[in-house]
Amino acid sequence: MSEIYLNEVQIAMVKKAIADGKKCLIISDLMINIFGAEIEVTNAHTGDVMKVMNLDINNGEFHYKLKSKKRSVKGTSDYLDYDLAMRIANDILWHGRQPQVGFYVIFSINTGLRVGDTLKLKHADMIGKQAGDYLIITEQKTGKRRQVQLNDKVIDAYKYLQKRNRTKPTDYVFKSQKNHVFATVTINRTLKRIFKGCAPVISSHSLRKTFGRRVYEKNGRSEHSLVLLSDIFGHSNLAITRRYLGLRREEIANVYLNL
């Protein structure tokens, strides 16, 4: 049985969250959902999920025993058709039981943020924003600060989300009906369901890749667009960006077709 240990500052944060009756908490790259004496810990970067039993805040060592470990998405994710993804997402936003899922898709394919950075979004980050305004985030993977400009699709979708859901500025945007922040594994499972048949392999990375393909296509499939995307995605060279977007695979396939 594995264990994880929290430092004194992290312990204090968890204790305060429990005392305040909170159901979720983010500490560094760990997203913690609290269910009484059991908590679920999700690594927002890797998507690993751990069931944590026997929560004892009076224990001096304050350790968690892990009931189960890593669940991950297998295979390389595929991108989606941007317009199709927008239509499906808007339908969920307008008519679905979980409009926040529709907004998650719209937000993701228009910003290109990683799932861990997206799930940290709070309403205070969005309230009052207009098209062209910037969202300032600190990337979990790199620790770097980034400015992300919000377009009218994101702003219009958020305004409609506000009409459908009662919100407080301090609330996380992407919470389930049980008032818990979505875990990455839940996002992946939901995306597979709503986009079934739209691409071979679907995960949260599919939305980031969809953003990339949209930028690439809207900029005339230019080398300049790949330079921009390489910088946005934090890739060390353009070859990585080409592989990430599936362009290299297409170029190799075309070799055979052009014989």
Whole-angstrom Cα distance, residue 240 to residue 246? 10
CA distance 209 to 199: 12
The residues, any chain, with a CB within 8 Å of residue 55's CB and separated by 6 or more, are 34, 36, 37, 38, 39, 64
Using CB atoms within 10 Å of the CB of residue 92, give its burial: 0 to 12 exposed, 13 to 18 middle, 19+ buried: buried
Q: What CA–CA distance (Å, rounded) separates 191 from 210?
A: 13
pLDDT digits 0-9 by tens, 127-157: 999 999 999 999 988 888 999 999 999 999 9
- Out of 37-41, 49-53, 175-179, which region has the weakest mean confidence (pLDDT)? 49-53
- Strand ranges (DSSP E) for 111-208? 134-138, 145-149
pLDDT band at 13 (very low <50, low <70, confident <90, very high): confident
b/e sequence 68-80, b meaning 16+ C-beta within 10 Å: eeeeebeeebbbb
- Does the model's pTM come out above 0.95? no
Q: Report the CATH architecture of 82-217.
A: Orthogonal Bundle (1.10)
Mean pLDDT over 24-53 rounds to: 60
Distance, in Å, from the CA atom of 2 to the CA atom of 64, rounded to the nearest integer, reads 9
> What pLDDT is recorded for position 50?
57
Yes or no: say if 212 and 233 are a contact pair by the CB < 8 Å rule: yes
pLDDT of residue 62: 42
77-107, pLDDT tens digit by residue?
899 999 999 999 999 999 999 999 999 999 9
Domain boundaries, the chain: 3-68, 82-217, 219-257
pLDDT given for residue 71 in this prediction:
42
Q: Are 40 and 50 in contact (CB under 8 A)?
A: yes
Q: Which residue has the tokens 């009076």?
A: 58
Give the pLDDT of residue 165. Answer: 87
Mean pLDDT lowest for which of 111-115, 118-122, 132-136, 238-242? 238-242
Tens digits of residue pLDDT in 181-210 = 999 999 999 999 999 999 989 999 999 999
Contacts of 225 (CB under 8 A, 6+ apart): 215, 216, 218, 219
DSSP letter at 182 equals: P
β-pair partners for 49: 42
